[in-house]
Structure 1
Amino acid sequence: MKVLDHISLPILKLALPLILIQLCQASLGLINTLVAGKFNYQDLAAIGLGSSIWTPVFILFTGILYVLVPKTSMLQQNNEHSKIQYLFQQGKNISLLLSIFGFVIVHILAFLCPAIISDHYVAHITQNYLHCVAFAIPGLVYMTLYRFMSEGSSQLKPIMLTFIVLLLSDAILSYLLVNGIGNLPPLGGAGTGLANVFSAYIACFVMRYLVRKAVPAIKRDHHQVVSTSESLQILKQGLPIGVTLVLQILALSTLAFFASELGTRTIAAHQIVINIAMVIIMIPVAISSATTIRIATFSAQRNQKGKQLTGLTVAVITLCYGMFMALILILCGGQITALFSQDEQVIVLATGLIHYVAIFLIFDALQTVAAGVLRGLQQFMQPLAVILFCYWIIIIPLSYFMGVKGWLQITANVDIIWQILACGMCLAALAMIIQSYRKVQSSHLVSE
């Protein structure tokens, strides 16, 4: 029992702040949506479209930089501070490249808005919003760099404080810039983009100040020549993580597009359950991040038993959480979906889908945490391969032909899409768990 406490308590200690961080991060988009929606429904639509355009770009960058977490954790455990500083310099090189690329690509996407958005007024707002967001990208990228160096060192207080500052500054600035106050004219939806710029750099400097105090190893105390080829190697290692995250988001967006072919109310019901699922999965994402840190720490210690018990403990915790949330969704599905809509048909459709969401979430949570185990072992390709196969070879094609076209079905309906999604996630969870178990076992052989 003491051994399990020794394993579970550090995981929970890491996971709880990460849950707060994830919820703060998720709330940023919600704030922009609420403020723009109160101003005008067209501004709401524009910000929603703009967020869907630039968010995958930033998620790709976040995934690439996440490779710094397990590497920093291992170096921190071995007290190799000079290597941590060298790794940080490599991260700065990567961040510079990502900042330039992100700045350019978001501007290009902004110029494309009139061609891909049919409503000219909405396209104009979206374009202005994205042009503003492009200037926020460098600040967000460097903030993420400092975040992951701090996270890898198990210093989570700077991240929590920064995200609270980011959340408050974005909320206040969005309200002021969108609605106008004093001599400031109302900027509408585009004002949220400008608010993102100011709040991103405020958060970046706050994060830099706090992390440099919490992780003094990143301070440059002597000249080090950082190899460009080694920096690019770090980028290559992080790329599979970023691509994995983007593939998941694009897959869910594709499923939403499939649902749109089944009617307006079906779109609404599908979006309701997707939003519910995205909030619930935040906790397994935080547990997965904590797992990555703990597995990397035990790897540095060559502690095989610690890695095995960590994998088992997080699997049990995640399974219990998934089953608990599934029970709540099944028992209270009608009441939860009623919070999102007053249309009775939409509520009935969404309540029916909740049962599939309950099953989907259990397996999605398990595969998310198993991916955290693999990343802690610095195995980055396996999660990408599993997500690519399960989502894009199985779920997407079958959802289209069976859920939209009615292949082998009496009639096409959105229930089929969610049934296939639940089955596909079951397969993904099984494959990810098997891979993580094998890699933990093989890491023992390598260490010997």
Structure 2
Amino acid sequence: MNNKPPIYKEIIKLSLPLMFIQICQASLGLVDTLLAGQYHYKDLAAVGLASNIWTPIAILITGIMYALVPKFSSADAKQDNEACAKLLALGKRNATVLSVLGFLALQLFAFSAPYIISDQEVAKISQHYLHAVAFAVPGLTYMILYRFFNEGRGDMLPIALTGALLLVLNSVLNFVLVNGHLGLPALGGLGCGVATAITTYCALFCLFALSRKSLKSLNNNNRSVESSEARNLMLEGLPIGIALILEVLALTALAFFASVLGTKVVAAHQVAINVAMVVFMIPVAISSAATIQVSKYRGMSLPFESKRSGIAALTMATLYGGIMTVLILVFGKQIAPWFSEDPEVIALISSLIIFIAMFQLVDAIQMVAAGILRGLEEFVRPLVTVLFVYWIVIIPISYAIGVKGWLVDQPDIEHIWLLLTCGLTFAALLLGTQSYLQLTKNVHKPELANA
């Protein structure tokens, strides 16, 4: 009789709601890009550049708060409501600190926009967008807290419902505010920022209401926490946040490299990035499921099942990456006209779609491998890999070849994307090898294998 846990079934069960949630979140940027592009290509470029500033801040906050997920999961498995209540109180304190810092950082970047963006019309739109979207940060941070509270306890329904509301409401508000319907003035790119801020608070209140029964059971009112405990929790999440933000900041740097090549190049680059991000959300979900499963079996002292979970997740990522490569190559160019009516922008988008197809497989593998390492509490290895691949290899060489034109006849955006694809391939090899070796090493640890 086979008593082994149904590994693939467990990962799929976790991945499906996470996929829906991730796709809803990623689609927010896609909606901004789509509607701003239909309004004017300069608004598209402005929203793209501003998004490359605000998104890293949101992701850093998410990474730091992510340390709560395994802790909530462990406490919930033990039915330790006291520990859950304490974690929630610590999370609230950290959420308040991160909200203030994130808001101030975005306002500072908004005032700096005219100095870092060469096209002053684009800079002005970006500045207004950042001023507006900064007000979304507190709502977003607390929404992340309640999301991770539910995610750690395995209750995905409130998060999925909130994600659906977030996408629908943001789409409607973008359509109204960007184009000026219902008697409102057309705000263009600024409308995207205002829509994001309004939608975030609506989603926060929705998630809080859906989580209220679970929150009430914790009796968390007026619970005091030590500053040192909150600080330690923040420091635990910092390596995750730094690794994520270094990767996103690398994409931000590439966006500013594209801005040197012209406003229409920026517009096409931003469309390609947003399309890639939406497709990328499914490997992110598989990665999160791998983290949960690998860490669960590791905590239960079942290293062989931990390894099976990791290998299963990598297999799923490989299959997904291969399928998406084929689909994007076949149908990718047909979506370019959705984002712009400018023939030159459409042509540039079509050329970049090929590179998106090229790196789907390796991108999926490197993301899931990083998730496995996090499940094994190996937080430093993904950080070092991201630092090396992006900031020592991709960024300097992309600037030299793609912007300055070293070793090529003429600098262009295709060279930057080709180098990005090569770098992601290298990252997939490094992280894939490291994750497999660490999983195998745990199987052969006597204290784990014989527990």
**Corresponding position: 1:150 with 2:144:** no
Q: Secondary structure at the match of 2:378?
A: coil
CA distance in 1, matches of 2:441, 2:423: 27
CA distance in 1, matches of 2:196, 2:23: 17
Q: Which stretch of the first structure deviates more once superposed, 113-122 or 147-156?
A: 113-122
Q: Which stretch of the first structure deviates more once superposed, 331-340 or 140-149?
A: 331-340
**Where does 1:161-180 land on structure 2 (aligned, <5 Å)?**
161-178=161-178
In structure 2, relative to structure 1, the CA distance for the partners of 1:360 and 1:150 (3 Å cut) is same
* 1:19-56 C-alpha deviation (Å, 9 max, x unpaired): 11111112222333444455555544443333232222
Q: After TM superposition, give the deviation of residue 155 of structure 1 in Å.
A: 1.0
Q: Secondary structure at the match of 1:17?
A: helix
In structure 2, relative to structure 1, the CA distance for the partners of 1:258 and 1:164 (3 Å cut) is same
**Partner residue of 1:289?**
288
**Partner residue of 1:61?**
61
* 1:177-223 C-alpha deviation (Å, 9 max, x unpaired): 445566755555434433333322221121112123356665427x7
CA distance in 1, matches of 2:52, 2:268: 19
Determine if contact 2:41/2:340 at 8 Å carries over to the other structure.
no
Determine if contact 1:17/1:156 at 8 Å carries over to the other structure.
yes
Q: Aligned AA for 1:212? A: R
Determine if contact 1:143/1:203 at 8 Å carries over to the other structure.
yes
**Partner residue of 2:8?**
8
Determine if contact 2:38/2:340 at 8 Å carries over to the other structure.
no
**Partner residue of 2:360?**
361
Q: After TM superposition, give the deviation of residue 86 of structure 1 in Å.
A: 1.5
CA distance in 1, matches of 2:36, 2:340: 19
Determine if contact 2:34/2:338 at 8 Å carries over to the other structure.
no
Q: After TM superposition, give the deviation of residue 314 of structure 1 in Å.
A: 0.5
CA distance in 2, matches of 1:358, 1:262: 23
CA distance in 2, matches of 1:437, 1:212: 41
In structure 2, relative to structure 1, the CA distance for the partners of 1:348 and 1:102 (3 Å cut) is closer
Q: Secondary structure at the match of 1:108?
A: helix
In structure 2, relative to structure 1, the CA distance for the partners of 1:233 and 1:402 (3 Å cut) is same
CA distance in 2, matches of 1:304, 1:404: 48
Q: Aligned AA for 1:171? A: S
Determine if contact 1:251/1:391 at 8 Å carries over to the other structure.
yes
Show structure 2 runs of 5+ residues with no match.
none
In structure 2, relative to structure 1, the CA distance for the partners of 1:37 and 1:272 (3 Å cut) is closer
Q: After TM superposition, give the deviation of residue 123 of structure 1 in Å.
A: 4.1
**Partner residue of 2:247?**
248
RMSD (Å) for aligned C-alpha atoms: 3.2
**Partner residue of 1:421?**
420
In structure 2, relative to structure 1, the CA distance for the partners of 1:3 and 1:340 (3 Å cut) is farther
CA distance in 1, matches of 2:212, 2:188: 37
Q: After TM superposition, give the deviation of residue 417 of structure 1 in Å.
A: 3.4
CA distance in 1, matches of 2:215, 2:151: 10
**Partner residue of 2:227?**
228
Q: After TM superposition, give the deviation of residue 93 of structure 1 in Å.
A: 1.2
In structure 2, relative to structure 1, the CA distance for the partners of 1:278 and 1:32 (3 Å cut) is closer
Q: TM-score, normalised by structure 1?
A: 0.87
Q: After TM superposition, give the deviation of residue 90 of structure 1 in Å.
A: 1.2
Q: Secondary structure at the match of 2:6?
A: helix
Aligned residues: percent identity? 46
Q: Aligned AA for 1:387? A: V
In structure 2, relative to structure 1, the CA distance for the partners of 1:420 and 1:17 (3 Å cut) is same
Show structure 1 runs of 5+ residues with no match.
none
Q: After TM superposition, give the deviation of residue 229 of structure 1 in Å.
A: 1.1
**Corresponding position: 1:138 with 2:146:** no
Q: Aligned AA for 1:162? A: T
Determine if contact 1:166/1:203 at 8 Å carries over to the other structure.
yes
**Where does 1:260-279 land on structure 2 (aligned, <5 Å)?**
270-279=269-278
Determine if contact 2:158/2:211 at 8 Å carries over to the other structure.
yes
Q: After TM superposition, give the deviation of residue 405 of structure 1 in Å.
A: 4.3
Q: Aligned AA for 2:323? A: F
Q: Aligned AA for 2:287? A: S
**Partner residue of 1:388?**
387
**Corresponding position: 1:160 with 2:197:** no
Q: Secondary structure at the match of 1:281?
A: helix
Determine if contact 1:39/1:188 at 8 Å carries over to the other structure.
yes
In structure 2, relative to structure 1, the CA distance for the partners of 1:352 and 1:119 (3 Å cut) is closer
CA distance in 2, matches of 1:169, 1:51: 19
Determine if contact 2:313/2:368 at 8 Å carries over to the other structure.
yes
Q: Aligned AA for 2:28? A: L
Q: Secondary structure at the match of 1:72?
A: helix
Q: After TM superposition, give the deviation of residue 415 of structure 1 in Å.
A: 4.6
Q: After TM superposition, give the deviation of residue 16 of structure 1 in Å.
A: 1.1
Q: TM-score, normalised by structure 2?
A: 0.87
Q: Aligned AA for 1:246? A: I
**Corresponding position: 1:213 with 2:213:** yes
CA distance in 1, matches of 2:141, 2:378: 23
